[in-house]
Amino acid sequence: MTHIISELAYLVAGVLFITGLKWLSSPESARRGNMIAAVGMFIAIVATLVMQEILSFRLIVIGTVIGAVVGAVAALRVAMTAMPQMVAVFNGFGGGASALVAWAEYLRLRPGGFAMDTPISIVATTIIGAVTFSGSMVAYAKLQELVTGRPIVYRFQQASNLLLALLIVGVCGYLVVGAFSTGPQMELYIAAMVLSLILGVVFVLPIGGADMPVVISLLNAFSGLAAAAAGFVLKNHVLIVSGALVGSSGVILTRIMCWAMNRSLANVLFSAFGAEVAVVGAAGTTAGPTVKSVTPDEAAILLGYAKSVIIAPGYGLAASRAQNEVRDLADALERRGVDVKYAIHPVAGRMPGHMNVLLAEASVPYEKLLDMDEINPEFPKADVALVLGANDVVNPAARHDKSSPLYGMPILDVDKAAHVIVIKRSLNPGFAGVDNELFYLDRTRMLFADGRDGLVKIMQELERV
Amino acid sequence: MTHIISELAYLVAGVLFITGLKWLSSPESARRGNMIAAVGMFIAIVATLVMQEILSFRLIVIGTVIGAVVGAVAALRVAMTAMPQMVAVFNGFGGGASALVAWAEYLRLRPGGFAMDTPISIVATTIIGAVTFSGSMVAYAKLQELVTGRPIVYRFQQASNLLLALLIVGVCGYLVVGAFSTGPQMELYIAAMVLSLILGVVFVLPIGGADMPVVISLLNAFSGLAAAAAGFVLKNHVLIVSGALVGSSGVILTRIMCWAMNRSLANVLFSAFGAEVAVVGAAGTTAGPTVKSVTPDEAAILLGYAKSVIIAPGYGLAASRAQNEVRDLADALERRGVDVKYAIHPVAGRMPGHMNVLLAEASVPYEKLLDMDEINPEFPKADVALVLGANDVVNPAARHDKSSPLYGMPILDVDKAAHVIVIKRSLNPGFAGVDNELFYLDRTRMLFADGRDGLVKIMQELERV
Amino acid sequence: MELLFAVYIFVLATFVGFEVITKVPKLLHTPLMSGSNAISGISIIGALVIAGFVEEPFRAMLGLFAVVFGAINVVGGFLVTDRMLQMFKRKPGDREARRAQS
Amino acid sequence: MELLFAVYIFVLATFVGFEVITKVPKLLHTPLMSGSNAISGISIIGALVIAGFVEEPFRAMLGLFAVVFGAINVVGGFLVTDRMLQMFKRKPGDREARRAQS
Ligand SMILES: NC(=O)c1ccc[n+]([C@@H]2O[C@H](COP(=O)([O-])OP(=O)(O)OC[C@H]3O[C@@H](n4cnc5c(N)ncnc54)[C@H](OP(=O)(O)O)[C@@H]3O)[C@@H](O)[C@H]2O)c1
Ligand SMILES: NC(=O)c1ccc[n+]([C@@H]2O[C@H](COP(=O)([O-])OP(=O)(O)OC[C@H]3O[C@@H](n4cnc5c(N)ncnc54)[C@H](OP(=O)(O)O)[C@@H]3O)[C@@H](O)[C@H]2O)c1
């Protein structure tokens, strides 16, 4: 009977998760959707505590309090610009929790002998969970610049990674096949776990910091799979349902990001993209034709007397935390009767929807944030395109230069506007490490400055115009 | 082991059903989607025959052959215009099959005693299946005009129907509660079944022929529920999955139709809508202002010299089977350089998507069939709107006359075109039974003829123009 | 437990159904109706088992009818849907054009 | 059977996930990522049971860590998502306007 009640509670939790995700599909209801999912989680936890046999609540309370406090403090204090690495960390802990659960179940079940399928599930949970954990932590370190964001490459890297993966498969195979025999099983199990932790690290190391969002999203799918696999171990259906939901969500987001960058997942994971940034960039800056720069007061005049301005933000907006300043500038322009819109490229910044979140933080109404497909036809009609710390997503080479690594990626057509103002600190390339011919166009003016500083100065000048 | 294999086969079947339905969402892949679903069905059937204990195949073969032949002949010979009633019949048989299965299970399980939940499932399957069966047959009879399509109303109809429903609930309650005791259970069970069959009939009788699509779609949802309930009886998961899929599909389609007519489901089911057609219609025809009629050659001139023509077909297209003729006319016009489009109202005709199917039969490419929302902005720019046997879906009263039963239903804005030509046989009203002010507008010309005849005559004249 | 399992599956499949079906465009609603209707003939697989159990003639008879009904629904439903869908074409010659391109 | 059940549920839930997630607009992809990430902390409910079984200290210790990890993921994930979503607003004053209308 208690079993039935808790199963029903789990079913309710699963339905709430689904409903929550459904509501996430509209900005109107998204916040409620997230809360509903949280309620589902709460119900699942309470049902577990009430319905399952719990000998002592001491460790449970300690663990929950510590975890909740750490999680809450981290979540409430993190800057919006550091969101990607925060998600990575949380995600890693989720995977870690699944792996630990599998380990504990292994210890519990081994003496008594396993049911048919349990060894596979346990081993799968352990590997996936461990890879998720260590991989996410490396992703975090890279984004937080605790280690270099550059791809870390060394000789025989891919070969040794492959070897490691094969070794893990071998050990796991032995563990599963030999699950019902005696022998050094426990040692091998721990070996599999440690090897998986290592795999997570070496898997993420050669991937460039700017590709981390793809990796995080993939690891998100992994943590879902780990939870689902843990559900197979525990025969717990809400774990399976939630894990499957998260797994598919991660897979879809990964796919979307790869599409938007016009690269395959394999290319993202294995090509050490961006390792040669410095070289190409330097070449571009020294040998190229000259660019026209612009002073803040000239920029202010251009903007202030325009009829319509489209702002195309990129990673530089996040890096210089200029979201409030850009909004102030837009407001000032609108007060002068200028029509202002934002052009949001799907992979501008370093996470899917990164620009949306930042600009939303500055209370820019989301109807003003136009998708690439919607805004591109508007550029030819715009007087000024203001490129704010964006680079790759506005690089015209993507349209015509077959040798460019960006070739084929859909871009924002800022170069079709009457005037282009680009705010960035130098002529250095962006994430893809290629030079940008946009900067050398006749109609382009460069404003070399940190994103925020540049905006503030334009604002000041604008007040005088 | 065989159990596991058949369960896996059922899972595959379920996945194929889902995939099939997914593919149904684009005209490119829809046909393959339907085939995939059929393959799923085939797999489920084969798995059942191979994996389950079957004592004798004689009856199975006989039954399958009879059913397959009857179904195939009916499906291949039915005219496209009679599609709605065909779907109703098939649907009824599906519900009937579920009810019979429940009956047989009742007979099998009763001597040995039931599991906890089985009586409820059996009773539910029986009622829903029986109502689906008899209700669908009445819907068929109405649409095929074996009985009058008019709502059949009599005194105390709703009260007696309610009483009948309550009676059934009572009997079923007794059956479920008393499932584990002895007594006249079998007699009561049969009584419940018979009462349900009667309920199906009296439930559909008062609903007008034109509302049958809604009823059929609702009964479709019922047959899904019956199959799912049968799945609960047999503990067969592919039945549950498929039943749930069909159930939700039926519910969604019902909802969409009600929305598009701007009526509630309750209004459709219980208001005997259309019972007074003749009265209102007659009043409108005799007392109204006069209309301007047009001869086929005048119509041909108007059409032939137009730059753009929008054709708005309605039930009259289906009734006069004019789909090929309308296409011929459109082709002839296009050869003359006229731009021709079709305006498809969601509830034009008598089934959702009715016009699409008919025009597709005449090989009209589906990009020319524009949804209401897409085409409405085009009417003000069109030279001629050709209304072909449509009435309610082009009635401007829906926009402004609060007393009209159509008030609030979105309509095709044919009255905004420079000229309107209406082909129908008389000034009689359409399904909703209300007069149409469109016919009395200055810019409207009526061509009184059967839909097909009218088109043929216009064609002949057009060749001379 | 069996019952719980059944409820789980029913709930999840209902969600799938709602999500998948809401994506079907109006253009295809009639084929959708008849296609999903064909799927509801799935109860034929319950009927098969019953019709095969000939030891109890009356039950087997019920099974026979159920098989006939189910087969009509399944065969008729899929065929009629196919007939409808067969008619949905792009511009004539379009298919060839696309084939030539790729 | 248990395993089959689990596979059924996994398959259906995956379908639901795909269908539901593909409807989320780009605008909300970052919150979606962190929200679904919070849901993956569900393994905390496995951890709770293990941490409660104190008779085996080592296992309970593993459970403790798993609870801490899970709680970080769940609490942090939902809170951070909420913080992000809180910022998505229509035009200021818009909400009042709509309320007045209805
Ligand atoms: N969004 C995603 O989900 C995602 C995921 C993976 C990869 N990516 C990749 O990331 C790239 C995103 O394109 P993007 O155009 O947004 O960025 P980007 O191409 O990386 O360029 C960003 C530019 O911002 C400038 N910048 C950096 N800090 C700045 C500051 N403080 N003030 C002003 N400017 C600053 C940099 O130039 P200076 O150094 O001269 O200032 C740099 O050229 C794409 O290549 C995309 O494929 C995105
Ligand atoms: N599509 C659905 O799913 C659905 C479902 C339920 C209800 N309905 C209802 O059905 C109605 C559909 O609107 P509608 O405009 O398509 O049809 P309608 O309002 O029923 O009008 C059809 C018109 O076609 C004419 N007609 C009949 N036979 C004809 C023939 N052989 N040749 C030429 N004209 C002929 C009739 O006028 P004459 O007699 O003068 O010729 C009639 O006025 C709506 O009220 C809708 O709510 C639709």
A214: left (phi over 0), alpha (psi -120 to 50) or beta: alpha
The pLDDT of residue B153 is 79
CA-CA distance, A351 to A344, in Å (whole number)? 12
Read off the pLDDT of each residue in A263-267 and give the average, rounded to a whole number.
Answer: 82
Residues 6+ apart with CB under 8 A from A340: A308, A309, A310, A311, A330, A333, A334, A368
Between B302 and A361, name the one with better pLDDT. B302
**Cβ contact A100:A125 at 8 Å:** no
Binned at pLDDT 50, 70 and 90, residue B288 comes out as low
The pLDDT of residue B168 is 92
| Statement: residue B279 has pLDDT above 70 | no
Of the given ranges (B175-179, B411-415, D17-21), which has the lowest mean pLDDT? Answer: B175-179
**Nearest residue to B309 via CA among B289, B284, B334:** B334
| Statement: residue B274 has pLDDT above 70 | no
CA-B314 nearest atom, ligand 2:
16
**Cβ contact D62:A103 at 8 Å:** yes
**Nearest residue to B421 via CA among B390, B381, B453:** B390
Q: Is any ligand 1 atom within 6 A of the Cβ of residue A438?
A: no
| Statement: residue A286 has pLDDT above 80 | no
Binned at pLDDT 50, 70 and 90, residue D91 comes out as very low
CA distance B325 to chain C (A): 16
Between A381 and B183, name the one with better pLDDT. A381
Q: Which residues of C touch A8 (CB under 8 A)?
A: 4
Q: Which residues of C touch A7 (CB under 8 A)?
A: 4
The pLDDT of residue B241 is 95
Please tell me the total number of residues recorded for chain B in this structure: 465
- Calculate how far, in angstroms, residue B273's C-alpha sits from the geometric centre of ligand 2: 14
Of the given ranges (B426-435, D4-13, D78-87), which has the lowest mean pLDDT? Answer: B426-435
Say how many CA atoms lie within 13 Å of A331 toward its Cβ. 12
CA distance C3 to chain A (A): 10
Read off the pLDDT of each residue in A120-136 and give the average, rounded to a whole number.
Answer: 94
Binned at pLDDT 50, 70 and 90, residue B183 comes out as low
Q: Which residues of D touch C19 (CB under 8 A)?
A: 16, 19-20, 23
Read off the pLDDT of each residue in A49-55 and give the average, rounded to a whole number.
Answer: 83
The pLDDT of residue C89 is 58
* φ, ψ (nearest 5 deg) of residue A385: -105, 120
Residue-wise pLDDT tens digits, B93-108: 999 999 999 999 998 8
- Calculate how far, in angstroms, residue A348's C-alpha sits from the geometric centre of ligand 1: 7
Neighbours of B311 (CB within 10 A): 29
The pLDDT of residue D94 is 41
Q: What percent of chain A has pLDDT over 70?
A: 93
What ipTM describes this predicted complex?
Answer: 0.81
Q: The dihedral of CA A290, A296, A301, A303: what is its sign?
A: positive
CA distance C7 to chain A (A): 9
**Nearest residue to A110 via CA among A175, A64, A204, A161:** A175
Binned at pLDDT 50, 70 and 90, residue B365 comes out as confident
Selection from A352-361, B73-82, B292-301 with the highest mean pLDDT: B292-301
Residue-wise pLDDT tens digits, A313-348: 999 998 888 999 999 999 999 999 999 999 999 888
Say how many CA atoms lie within 13 Å of B251 toward its Cβ. 14
DSSP per residue over B426-442, as a string? SS---TT----GGGGST
Residues 6+ apart with CB under 8 A from B7: B237, D4
Q: Mean pLDDT of all residues in chain B?
A: 87
Binned at pLDDT 50, 70 and 90, residue A277 comes out as very low
Q: Per CB distance under 8 Å, which residues of C are interface residues toward D?
A: 5, 8-9, 12-13, 15-16, 19-20, 23
Residue-wise pLDDT tens digits, B409-464: 889 999 999 999 999 999 988 877 788 999 999 899 999 999 999 999 999 998 88
The pLDDT of residue B451 is 92
* Nearest residue by C-alpha to atom 40 in ligand 1: A426
CA-B390 nearest atom, ligand 2:
15
Read off the pLDDT of each residue in A178-193 and give the average, rounded to a whole number.
Answer: 78
Q: The dihedral of CA A210, A211, A215, A218: what is its sign?
A: positive
| Statement: residue B281 has pLDDT above 60 | no
* Nearest residue by C-alpha to atom 21 in ligand 2: B430
Q: Is any ligand 2 atom within 6 A of the Cβ of residue B390?
A: yes
| Statement: residue C96 has pLDDT above 60 | no
Residue with tokens 């975890």, as numbered in its chain: A67
| Statement: residue A387 has pLDDT above 70 | yes
The pLDDT of residue B285 is 45
**Nearest residue to B461 via CA among B300, B295, B324:** B300
| Statement: residue A38 has pLDDT above 90 | yes
CA-CA distance, B20 to B15, in Å (whole number)? 8
Of the given ranges (A75-84, A91-100, B200-209, B279-288), which has the lowest mean pLDDT? Answer: B279-288
| Statement: residue B368 has pLDDT above 80 | yes
| Statement: residue B283 has pLDDT above 60 | no
| Statement: residue B124 has pLDDT above 80 | yes
The pLDDT of residue A81 is 74
The pLDDT of residue D86 is 81
DSSP per residue over B252-309, as a string? HHHHHHHHHHT--HHHHHHS-TTTTHHHHHHHHHHHSPP--B--HHHHHHHHHT-SEE
The pLDDT of residue C98 is 39
Residue B392 annotated as catalytic: yes
The pLDDT of residue B257 is 83
Of B67, B230, B346, the CB nearest to C43: B230
| Statement: residue A407 has pLDDT above 90 | no
Of A17, A63, A369, the CB nearest to D67: A63
| Statement: residue B226 has pLDDT above 90 | yes
Q: Is any ligand 2 atom within 6 A of the Cβ of residue B451?
A: yes
Read off the pLDDT of each residue in A44-60 and give the average, rounded to a whole number.
Answer: 87
Return the partners of chain A (3 or more C-beta pairs < 8 Å).
C, D
Residues 6+ apart with CB under 8 A from A1: none
Neighbours of A42 (CB within 10 A): 14
| Statement: residue C91 has pLDDT above 50 | no
CA-CA distance, B100 to C66, in Å (whole number)? 6
The pLDDT of residue A353 is 79
Selection from A79-88, A422-431, B16-25 with the highest mean pLDDT: B16-25
The pLDDT of residue D99 is 40
The pLDDT of residue C93 is 41
Q: What percent of chain B has pLDDT over 70?
A: 93
